[in-house]
Amino acid sequence: MAQPWKENHALFLISTGALAWLVPGGGHFALNERRRAVVIFVAIVLTFLIGLYVGSVGVVDPVHARPWYIAQMMNSPLVMLLGRIGATGDYRAFGRANEIGQIYTSIAGLLNLLCIVNAVYLAHLRSIKESQA
């Protein structure tokens, strides 16, 4: 028997995508893809943390590095909190460390965007299979 929130196809897809954005791998975890969820979580979080380690919290800068910030936001909404801390100017990063940190954190965000799309697609396929069965 289908769960009530799975009966509304659009709500199911939106909730899967939102969960995948809130926690990297969360959408896959909700779809009982536990191993894939763990791999996604570890890969994205480690990539993001390496970027923060190399460049400091200052690489998450919503004011002076807006395009990078948009890519970084794909990691999780928690990046907004880091953006507020980075916008204070107390954690400025310059030179290569800043560039490398921005690249790592942005790559992690874009990788999570791909995983969000994949989770929504898997949810779509599963709901189609359940409706045909």
Domain containing 63 equals: 27-132
8 assigned to some structural domain: no
Residues of the chain with pLDDT under 70: 1-7, 94, 133
The three-point CA angle 86-92-98 to 5° equals: 100
Is residue 110 within a helix (H) or strand (E), and if so which, with residue range? helix 95-132
- The model carries a pTM of 0.86
pLDDT of residue 133: 67
**Does some domain include residue 62?**
yes
The answer to whether residue 15 sits within a structural domain is no
Of the candidates 73, 50, 47, the one whose C-alpha atom is nearest the C-alpha of residue 60 is 73
Tokens of residue 117, six digits: 């799309």
Determine, yes or no, domain membership for 119.
Answer: yes
User: For residue 9, is it within any domain?
Assistant: no
Angle of helix 95-132 versus helix 9-22 axis, rounded to 10: 150
* Count: domains in the chain: 1
Type of residue found at 77: P
